[in-house]
Amino acid sequence: MGFKSQRRSGKLRNCFGIFTMEIYKEERFVVAKQESQETAKTCMVACLWSFLVSITGGLTLGFWEYQYHPTNRQLWMVPFSLILLVTPVVVWFAVFVSDIFNNKIEDVSIASQKVRSLGDSVHDPEK
């Protein structure tokens, strides 16, 4: 009777181990999905703010053109609005270009790494 109970508990442990592995995989999938959703939300907020800053710059420049250009007054509005209009475009361009180049560099560095044996290690106790 004791042997059978041990066998049953072993099966239970194996089943429990498989069950926990499945739960772990599901949790990992859920966490990865949540992280991608948070990243998407963050990106959308950044895009929205960039768009709003550009629109503000364009509207300020349009307002200056309509209201003050004939008399050439309030000239400070021109560089201010141009900075607001163009800066988000430059920032997004820089972010995308750096992301492209960083991904290529990471792929190359991972592929070009050599696998060394432990015998070649500097901290090998037998040397």
Cα separation, 72 vs 74, in Å, equals 7
**Residues ≥6 apart with Cβ < 8 Å to 40:** none
* Residue 75 or 18, more confident: 75
At residue 108, the pLDDT reads: 54
11-67 pLDDT, tens digit each: 444 444 454 555 666 777 777 778 888 888 888 899 999 999 999 999 999 999 999
Cα separation, 8 vs 21, in Å, equals 20
Count Cβ atoms below 10 Å from residue 107 Cβ, excluding itself.
Answer: 10
Residue 40: both structure tokens together? 């998407």
Report DSSP letters for 13-43, one per residue: HHHHHHHHHHHHHHHHHHHHHHHHHHHHHHH
Query: Phi and psi of 126, rounded to 5°?
Result: -85, -10
